[in-house]
Chains A and B, each alone.
Chain A
Amino acid sequence: MSFSLNEVAALGTKAARGAGADPAVAAAFGAALVRHLCAGRAAEDIDGALDALPHGPALHGALICRLMRRYRETQGTVSAPAHVPQALARSYLDTLPAPPTATFRAVEEGEVRYELPPLDPAPLPDRIEVPTALLTRLNRLAKETYVPNSDASRAAGAGAGLTDND
């Protein structure tokens, strides 16, 4: 089954929240997930990022994007934290409104972790296929953000009655 890009981004965001991510980290993860899958990059990177939440690659991917926004006009040398697989780092950078086109080298306060070639993000397709195992995992984690139903919740939580024939 194919999905819209926003469907996958929203699912990825919820899954990351379900796995313990801060909402902004989760939103960045959802956006990067779309780029990652569209580019045919390894689903294992995504699994690894979900495994490590609330820290790990998903957090540091979001931090890389913060840093690139700051330094995008300097073209080339930026600060970046560690621990993000290169392919996933590229997926995060692809989400930026103005993706960096120069060589990306991280030199955060003495740390050097990446030297990525210039980015040339491909145009996004209309649809994405999500690997079955990953889809199952994303859905399972997303459910962690839903509150189980109850009669009280059903009756009062939405602020409206159960029939509207007026």
Chain B
Amino acid sequence: MKDWITPAEAELRPPSDVMRLSRLGAMFPTRLSFLRTLMRRLDREGATLNRPVWQMNAEGHGHAVYTIRLGGHDYALVAVSNELDPSQRTDRVIATAWDAAFVLYDGVPDEAEVARIRREAPKQEAGRFGPRDLVLSRANKSVRLFTHVAEALRAGRQPDEDPIREIGYLMRTTAVYGNGKFGIADRTRIAARPGLDGPFMAEMLTVWMIRNFTHDLVSHVGGAPLEPRLRRHLGIGNATGLGMAPFLVTHPVLLNNWMLARETALARVRAVEVLTEDQKTCLRNLADTRVPRHLAEWQVPDPAHQARIEALAKDFAAFRTRHLTDAALARSNPIDRALRAAAEVGQDLEELVVALVLEPFPDLVDGLEECMADPLGYVGPGLHRTGALRDAIEDRFGWALKTDYQAPDACRRFWYVSAEKLEPRLGDRHAEPGAERESPLDVARRVRALYEALPDEDTCLTTFLATAPEHMMAVERVEIALSHPYSEIRDNLIAETCLPIDMLRAKLSLFGATRFDPKSDLWTRITLCQGAPLPEEMGTGTADDWWLPALAP
């Protein structure tokens, strides 16, 4: 029996720093990101991806079925590829047709089930699905790269590396739906299954299988196989808008658990006094080679974000020559010293270094992935009296009390769901109609309103809520924050200055996304699974070394 000793920990970084929007918008994937966790699991199990059905015409239209066994259960991805008129190819929720549609199925579907999915999946939100359909997704081609790769293969050569490096995926998903949407299975069906028990594991399994489908599809159309090195660098893209951001606000316990796991991992690593030679080598290899190459290959069209990446690359180059040298790493508490130095430079560098320093420490970090789910939601006893609530607001939401939410710029934005295919959107409260129907993401404003509504005299909180029910959500947020320090984004999410793109980056980093390619303050493209192991690499014990991938050897 293996004894378990709780590792030493440095102090956790305070939520007042960690949970600021700008810092969340600087996050990088870590070894706790969900895709990394899933890849380790698939590798440990030696999971085998099979393709029992492949019925495609020469243009790559048809359907395929992939199967995989994970945690003692069989799952199948049914992929349906259709011809799509270019005028219909949009990444928006308002799309009604896609290049490909997918369902992750619980078990191995028979012909009737495959026929049903082939009929329903291309309809996406307009279709109806059943309890064995676990995840619903769709994807559109990167027409430029898909065409280039297929033409190169057809011409008997491998594709050029430059467009692969520039784009990084053959298709990008535009939604990955789970947990009961449109009739698919509730998460409770799979929440206790080994391998799918962590957050978003079914969705991550789906995107990894879709990525492999895109490799097979382009090889089929091109008539020749892609080199493994190129396949490994071809991830699966994703186009993401505002639909992803509210999740972080509406799942405060889950957000807390995700951030707390990462911050605990960081605190453990900071407490390491002396590095082993293997740990030093790992850090040096990543810092000297992988990170600079990844940053150099991370090119985006938006000038402001490109400048930000280039500034980070410059900062990191200077940082590693001072704080990640053999001499620096040989000193006592080298990780803590490095992090303190990075924090002096700025958030982008600090968050990159946070992700970097977790890499050499699987024994300290990886077990924390088991703490990232939220099977019960908030189960605390709550508060009993308005006086205690007032104290709690002042303690945990002092940051929210400083803002005058009547000021035009402090309440300019409103989040809403459009009647047009329920697309999430953001509006200007002072210029557009609909603010009276806004989605409740204005946590800070609500807590301040609650604070101002509290009676001077200490009274029963139940009695207060019975007469002022409009404050129930704010009360719950304060109660949750008492026991979940990382549950709240500590910014005014309806302010003119709020950048939803920061929320997108935070959540996508937790998924394991790289190559953030913002198209606006509300919209980004990213790449998932870039550098992730290929199916034939599972079971080799080498599937975990793909943090911040680069195509350059």
Chain A residues in contact with chain B, CB under 8 A? 1-7, 10, 17, 21-25, 54-55, 59-60, 62-63, 66-67, 69-70, 79, 81, 97-98, 108-109, 124, 126-127, 143-150, 152-154, 157-166
Contacts and interface: CB of A to CB of B under 8 A. Distances in A.
B181 A162 contact: no
Contacts of A81: 462, 466
B460 to A, nearest CB: 7
Contacts of B465: 59, 63, 66
Interface size grouping (class) on chain B: 35 or more
> Chain A binding site: helix, strand, loop or mixed by DSSP?
mixed
Nearest to B241: A158
Contacts of B425: 147, 153, 157-158
B147 to A, nearest CB: 10
A6 B187 CA distance: 8
Contact of A160 (B239, B379, B380, B417): B239
A4 B128 CA distance: 11
Closest 5 pairs (CB-CB, A-B): A159-B522, A6-B180, A157-B425, A4-B180, A147-B434
A143 B422 CA distance: 10
B410 interface: no
Given A163-B87, A165-B86, A148 B419 contact: yes
Contacts of B520: 159-160
B140 interface: yes
Contact of B189 (A126, A147, A160): A126
B90 interface: yes
Contact of A158 (B188, B423, B471): B423
B131 A127 contact: yes
Interface stretch (B91-99, B338-346, B358-366, B508-516): B91-99
Nearest to B129: A4
A6 B186 CA distance: 6
B392 interface: no
B189 A7 contact: no
B460 A157 contact: no
Given A21-B469, A126-B131, A146-B416, 15 more contacts: A3-B183, A4-B181, A10-B180, A22-B469, A25-B472, A25-B473, A66-B382, A98-B379, A148-B433, A148-B434, A158-B426, A159-B500, A163-B86, A164-B89, A165-B143
A84 to B, nearest CB: 12
Interface in B115-157: 128, 131, 140, 142-144
Contacts of A62: 472
A164 B440 contact: no
Nearest to B243: A158
B171 to A, nearest CB: 12
A22 B462 contact: no
B140 A59 contact: no
Contacts of A146: 416-419, 422, 437
Nearest to A56: B469
Contacts of A1: 128
Contact of B186 (A4, A98, A108, A144): A4
